[in-house]
Structure 1
């Protein structure tokens, strides 16, 4: 401890240092997109202008890939860095039942957390052996279109199997893509749930999120609830009180922008007192039993509501069944 700062000891095993490096590098992927954009723009005014033009042509040619099932590259998903990424916390993917590959699925991921580390690890990489646990199931983590606008960043996301969260993208994966075993993996609470990311709580934004239920009925996709125990504990957040100043500011930003920058802090690379690195907290991601859904081309509001309520109850049951095992025994689940 120096000047109130707790520094990491020099005797840390080399593999733990590699784990920290893996997290550090992954957190700066968005900056890679920004920096790449600046570099490509500057190259336009040099003798290497053709590099920018070539990438621009590629971007135009490839612009529909995020809504056409992505461009997953298996060797990229199996890179050793993703094992190190999962080991940092560590993150463990828990299978409760077999999931047949003769249907298509929508995996509902809960909670969002600050940066969704467990959902990225489990469904965008093979860091927790998803393909071995669920053979024949091809996960497609869907995210906002902004992730596919910046160069390099978009290509990294697409290579990992990410897709756009648009309706067209969902329909392609669940209906027009050949074969079965395709899974849309969606953080249902979205950016709104970030505001309720508080350690030692499980607050899910779900009551008024019915779009996924409609998509499930229209495409005949089974619903699979997924809960990550420990995702909310990776950072200390600054909006503990419901009516705190920070919470009010974030609520206003969310209404204006439909997303909000979270107020949080964690640890640093070489010290444990402050920074944007997540804490080393164990995460258990439990994949529940599928709710089989038959296709209805034009579902009624009553049918959507019925499936939505059934899903919420399944999420509550999954949480109650496993909360004692994974350290949430005295923490009630709250559905907003």
Structure 2
């Protein structure tokens, strides 16, 4: 399943892949700050009207990331994303058919330091998502703070990303998520079918569990992502093979626990089925925290 080893790649290809990753890291870390400074600085120049117009747009459009994204096929299809995916490498393996007549919640694991896998698979066409799953429109939920920075928020939304609140993924308290959350409600019940919202369930806590030789995921007490599926149309939580979740306005705790157990077992089965092909030993185990 591995591509040509890095040492056997032409140096030009290796350089392009490294540059594609570098631009992503710099964009992730610096674009928001740079654009914020730029827009504010323009207020003190002859181009101040550009900043005023943009800030006016920003106020009017402030809540959009909570409700929808504005995916651009052009940005998602940039060829640099293929080089970005090939650097690691990141591959999308199809284990089941997904009907475009339904809506989906994708659980993404693990978080990693910067969510490179989730970004490559669901915010770009670097791994060929649309070709592999025609008719499915992916939307990656990410940190709300990223959508507060001018211009950068537009770039994020063009990649199909949308704002995620802590209420939508967490948690120890099953009552934290509200069925009235506009973002997921829009994509899963008000935007037709064929939508897939990808959530990195482990969050920041999981990003710190990056120890060589140790495989662990944070989700044992994270049940909000299961509960959020019930108030909307009968769709699925997808882990490899989809898990069908029936429509239910107020699911009791025992039902949430049942589907949460199914999900965790599906993740364990998926890990065991693919671990050797992904470079781990047959004895490797996955720990759920």
TM-score of Structure 1 vs Structure 2, range by shorter chain: 0.7 to 0.9
Give the match for residue 223 of structure 1: 237
1:313 aligns with 2:265: yes
- Within the alignment, does 1:186 sit opposite 2:184 as a pair? no
Instruction: Give how far 1:183 is off.
Output: 0.7
In structure 2, how many angstroms separate the alpha carbons of the residues matched to 1:164 and 1:33?
A: 15
> For residue 11 of structure 2, what is the aligned residue in structure 1?
13
Give, in whole Å, the separation in 2 of the partners of 1:61 and 1:199.
46
Residues of 1 paired with 2:274 and 2:13: CA distance? 31
Structure scoring higher RCO (CA < 8 A, sep ≥ 6) equals 1
User: For 2:287, what is the secondary structure of its paired residue?
Assistant: strand
Residue 172 of structure 2: aligned partner: none
Counterpart-to-counterpart distance in 1, 2:83 and 2:10: 15
Q: 2-side partners of 1:290 and 1:69: how far apart?
A: 24
Residue 174 (1) aligns with residue 194 (2): no
8 Å CA contact retained: 1:77, 1:125: yes
Aligned Cα RMSD in Å?
Answer: 1.7
Q: CA deviation at 1:157?
A: 0.7
Aligned residues of 2:65 and 2:163 also touching (Cα < 8 A): yes
Counterpart CA distance in 1 for 2:157 and 2:128 is 19
- Structure 1 residues 251-330: aligned runs within 5 Å: 288-329=240-281, 330=283
Contact kept in structure 2, 1:111 and 1:202, CA below 8 Å: no
Corresponding residue for residue 129 of structure 1: 128
CA shift at 1:316, angstroms?
A: 0.8
* 1:34–1:150 Cα contact (<8 Å) kept: yes
Structure 1 Cα separation of the partners of residues 13 and 60 of structure 2? 41
1:88 Cα offset (Å): 1.3
Q: Does 1:155 align with 2:190?
A: no
TM-superposed deviation, 1:215: 0.7
Write the distance in 2 (CA, Å) between the matches of 1:136 and 1:39: 38
Contact 2:230–2:248 (Cα < 8 Å) also in 1: yes
Once residues 38 and 205 of structure 1 are traced to their aligned partners in structure 2, the CA distance between those partners, rounded to angstroms, is 36
Taking the aligned partners of 2:227 and 2:210, their CA distance within structure 1 comes to 27
- TM-superposed CA distance for 1:187, in Å, is 0.4
Aligned partner of 1:54 in structure 2 is 53
Q: How does 1:5-44 map to 2 (within 5 A)?
A: 13-29=11-27, 30-44=29-43
Superposition deviation, residue 12 in structure 1? 5.5
Q: Residue 216 of structure 1 aligns to a residue in which SS?
A: coil
Choose the corresponding residue for 1:205, options 208, 212, 218.
218
Q: Which consecutive unaligned segments of at least 5 residues does structure 1 have? A: 1-8, 226-287
Note if contact 2:67-2:184 (Cα within 8 Å) is conserved in structure 1.
Answer: no
- CA deviation vs aligned residue, 1:171-204 (integer Å, no higher than 9, x gap): 1111111x21111100000111012121222210
Distance 1:197 1:89 in 2: 16
Q: Which of 283, 286, 289 matches 1:333?
A: 286
What is the deviation of 1:35? Answer: 1.1
Segments of structure 2 that go 5 or more residues without pairing to the other structure are 1-6, 166-180
Poorly superposed stretches of 4+, deviation over 3 Å: none
> How much does 1:87 deviate?
1.5
